[in-house]
A and B are shown apart, each in its own frame.
Chain A
């Protein structure tokens, strides 16, 4: 790899640098937010320079300890040609058809560690070339490698997940990738079929509702017909009208302060025959003041305006009034609550408790599919990627045993898997191996897991 020779002291410092176990610390989320300050610019600059220096570092290895390997672009794997002794061989690589193979992530990691030198054709690959070739969205997405290398650096033994291991199915068939793909396509087609069925269902529901509507209308009409079989007169006005009561004079006792009320003379065309009122008449109302009733509700005054439901002010007929008061009724108390800084979680929901509860439910109630055959196949889109074993001197590649962890890899930008997928996945395995969800966020790996907890239950005797 290195075409030039190093002096002894250069070699020493190089090895010392390279062998320092710590990688430069990655930056957290927060420091990525630019605030435009001089200090931050300086820090970022320093960070970049450090990275650059590190990447430019020449890696020096004793050529005797280097393992030679050949990249096979067809198999997307790396074949080991000459194997030098190393502790990694205990836990990495696998034998297939008498040849020793490395998975791309293993090869990359070992290359990064300075254990393997990989050739593509006759030419040894540089690290950059190797990253470019091996990382591939379909077989090895970058975040998967990040999780892999992260766990490996921490000392865990990480193997590609073997789907058959620990499955609930008693006779676990050896499932290879092609079969898996077939099954997955099958299951998706099943899902599609189910979807189309559900479409039909909704159509049926729609039909039935329209039918009901029709029935309702006819019922109403029959009631009306019973009373008014007269053909409809188109000239009739349905709308209520805003009368000018300044012109139309109703005698109103409530506005009369005097003891005697003068009633005007009445035009004879408004009166039935035989009645006439040509001159104003006086009416002496025998009013008596009703004793003030001691009604508690009359005397109570609420400081809160919302309780004083004043009538709708600016309506000119009943239609307007009805719509406005309906609106007001819906909003009277709600508005008050919404005026403050803190707003209620459930806003302006006027309905039964069921509606409110369903609004409050962030997690919708889950209807799990029945445990049919496809529940047993590991073909769901979510499946573990790696089996992780604790560091163990007696680890055998041929018989790894039950893993200590299973890891699913997610990118931060990906959608969170829904509950049914999670439950399905956890039901897939009968051993109590913890399922970890590795979420990669800009190079930082975080692990999450779901725990079973018991909700408090009312004691009943």
Chain B
């Protein structure tokens, strides 16, 4: 790596002062079980595009990876245990900023001319290259200029706008909070049910189409959203079916720009397969991105779910109540595929992956996460968005009652629940 690492005094529980020059970045990780308090004492700085307020204390809990960037130089104080903390001089931030200005130019054109739609940009790349970070950066910069772009998160495993196993869209009208992330006002969430698109690619593509329809309706109804455009985050699966899904998403959302992070192969493939009027750009990844192991990813998913119910600093208090079996109907989307040879002539096996499978109440449902579908009838389920999530904490087989953990007090707003196939949550404090 070309970074010039300025290793500072490690493991100093006391206050550490960093002086950042122009266009440099302070990167640090919070040690496990520790908290780090950050304070900007002089100059201007931002974290993933969100500006820091001077002399305000920001607390980061364990596992957080933070990069503080400054365009003009600043001074930062850190208090707490950091795993590593260093200042990097070579960052691709200028590249990202240039991307933003290009998008902003397009937004300006759309603003002036009603026959032009705002830019729709899709960010693709393999895992752990900073796709979500770039999305956040672009969203924050746009929001800081008063835009309201739509963030679409197709990364079902590590989604930033809801819990894992879902995909959806969120309208951004102010920069994401430095500690808490995006302001989740009325996100549109769809139930996918798996942590990887490969588990049900058919459903994945179907939901992409559905979200694209909703987004275009949103753009039709609001000219601000239309001008601001959309920022689409994808998952890190870029081969085979994953690549097909990317192409499908690009077509469904009718993207104008594709930002490819750090993979020339993907860049050349997309330049070949995309129409001429789509700009495919190769961008470098930041030297600061850290590869996340499977365990880290799993922990991140758990944390995400815990955050949904309990809030970031255990600030929320979810409700626990009993729901009789008879009050809910539980489904799973996607039956195992049948070989075509086993079917009668002329019956296609195509739709089995989006078929509803009723689930009988049983003890196996314990610790499973269920989405509360907004659908009123069975036919609408696959196409309907999700109202919220619950966890079945206990199943009382004798009394035929589920104990559920819910963010709101009972009763449930709808009776149709969709079970997440491989995403569970143990409710231990």
Hey, which bits of chain A sit against chain B, CB under 8 A?
219-220, 222-224, 226-228, 230-233, 235-243, 245, 247-254, 263-264, 266-267, 270-277, 281, 283-287, 290, 293, 311-313, 315-318, 321-322, 352-354, 357
Contacts and interface: CB of A to CB of B under 8 A. Distances in A.
A324 B322 CA distance: 55
A337 to B, nearest CB: 23
Contacts of A247: 105
Given A227-B217, A315-B277, 11 more contacts: A219-B383, A227-B169, A235-B223, A236-B221, A239-B115, A240-B120, A254-B267, A270-B145, A271-B100, A275-B71, A318-B275
Interface string B264-289: 11011001111111010111100100
Contact of B23 (A237, A281, A311, A315): A281
Nearest to A255: B282
A271 B275 contact: no
B94 A283 contact: yes
B290 interface: no
A227 B218 contact: yes
A271 B101 contact: yes
B379 A219 contact: yes
B101 A252 contact: no
20 contacts: A223-B210, A226-B374, A232-B220, A233-B223, A236-B221, A238-B117, A250-B98, A250-B102, A251-B99, A254-B267, A254-B281, A263-B98, A272-B141, A272-B144, A273-B144, A274-B44, A276-B71, A311-B273, A315-B275, A315-B277
A322 to B, nearest CB: 7
Q: Which of A243, A263, A264, A284 has the most CB of B within 10 A?
A: A243
Interface of B: 1-2, 23, 44, 46, 49, 51, 71-72, 90, 92, 94-95, 97-102, 104-106, 108, 114-117, 119-120, 140-141, 144-145, 169, 186, 188, 210, 213-214, 216-223, 226, 251, 254, 256-257, 263-265, 267-268, 271-277, 279, 281-284, 287, 345-348, 374, 379-380, 383-385
A254 B117 contact: no
A252 B267 CA distance: 10
A272 B145 contact: yes
Contacts of A241: 115-117, 256
B226 A236 contact: yes
B115 A237 contact: yes
Nearest to B175: A272
B112 to A, nearest CB: 12
A239 B346 contact: no
B385 A228 contact: no
Minimum-distance CB pairs A-B, first 3 = A354-B346, A272-B144, A254-B282
Contacts of A230: 221-222
Given A238-B117, A248-B105, A352 B273 contact: no
A290 B214 CA distance: 39
Contacts of A248: 102, 105-106, 279
A296 to B, nearest CB: 13
Contacts of B346: 352-354, 357
Given A230-B221, A315-B277, A250 B99 contact: yes
A228 B222 contact: yes
Nearest to A287: B284
A223 B284 contact: no
Given A220-B213, A224-B217, A290-B264, A243 B99 contact: no
B384 A223 contact: yes
